[in-house]
Amino acid sequence: MNGIPEAFSHNVGVVTPEEQERLQESTVGIAGVGGVGGNVAHILARTGVGRFVLADPDTFSESNINRQFGAYVDTVGRKKVDVTAELIRSVNPRAEITVMDEGITPETAEEFVDSVDVVVDAIDFDRPDVRKSLLAAARRARVYSFLCPAFGFGASLVVFSPDGPSYEELFGSPEDGTLGSLMKYSRRILPVIPSYIDVESYLKGLAGKSHLPTFSPSVMLAAALTATDVVLLVVGRREPVCLPKVKWLDLVECTMKVVDTDRFSLRRLLRMAAVGMRRRNA
């Protein structure tokens, strides 16, 4: 197998040798290497993606250990980007990794998207301003952005196409914090509230005002779903499903489907929440 390192030789069969070379030549930018972002970095490193740009200002804390790829008792207190870069290099010593340890800021968003073929937006929900700068910069650079929140036993994959609707068209201005703009934002990002989650914690979580319950299985699934679509996009096999359509899944409901968020209404969301409450009380 010419040119394919032994470490990635077993990929051939799921991808072709030509596609494997394309993976090795591609650059993935990951903003936020915590739960989903860290696990996406891990999976993509093992697929043989050759270049990464990693941005995250945080250090690992103990409460990350339940779901984050680089989080161990031993790495608590260390910078997430440094640990993740080390782990990628241990998988692929030839990987080229750029680290931005101050995370993305409105000033550095351009620089971040500048060299990447695709953006993974795993920025925390309490930073809608940062997300807005990143997505705007990605759109100007004409690259796809993958946003992949996981909570409870569920996850979704939200993809912004450079040719699709803009952040403002889709979300309005969630950073103003009103209930109306928050609903507009959340119905796109996590379009289905699972029956076992109450609406209040869902909204507070999306507003970044409290933590959503997050743990390993749905984070792994979100990472697998994201990594799959990143791989299929960069090898040129297919375009992802993009906004206003969103992929949604839940491991309790045992369902994965494509949801058209343009057809989503507040009434429907509240009805689902009521069904969930009845089911819980039954």
Site residues, another protein (CB under 8 A): 6-15, 39, 42-44, 46-48, 62-67, 72-74, 87, 90-91, 93, 152-153, 194-197, 201, 211-218, 220-221, 223-225, 227-229, 231-232, 247, 249, 251-252, 254-256, 258, 280
Residue (160 or 248) nearer to another protein, CB = 248
Q: Rounded to the nearest whole angstrom, what is the least distance from the CB of residue 19 to another protein in the complex? A: 10
CA pair distance 240, 228, nearest whole angstrom: 10
Q: Would you tell me the crossing angle of helices 216-234 and 17-25 to the nearest 10 degrees?
A: 100
Residue (47 or 145) nearer to another protein, CB = 47
Q: Are 148 and 118 in contact (CB under 8 A)?
A: no
Q: Rounded to the nearest whole angstrom, what is the least distance from the CB of residue 242 to another protein in the complex? A: 14
Q: Rounded to the nearest whole angstrom, what is the least distance from the CB of residue 197 to another protein in the complex? A: 8
Q: Are 98 and 52 in contact (CB under 8 A)?
A: yes
* Residue spans of beta strands (DSSP E) within the chain: 27-31, 51-55, 96-100, 118-121, 144-147, 150-151, 154-160, 245-250, 255-260
Give the pair of three-digit tokens for residue 148. 């992949």
Residue (18 or 74) nearer to another protein, CB = 74
Q: Rounded to the nearest whole angstrom, what is the least distance from the CB of residue 224 to another protein in the complex? A: 3
Residue (29 or 152) nearer to another protein, CB = 152
Q: Are 204 and 183 in contact (CB under 8 A)?
A: no
CA pair distance 82, 38, nearest whole angstrom: 11
Q: Rounded to the nearest whole angstrom, what is the least distance from the CB of residue 101 to another protein in the complex? A: 22
Looking at the DSSP bridge assignments, the partners of residue 151 are 154
Residue (50 or 194) nearer to another protein, CB = 194
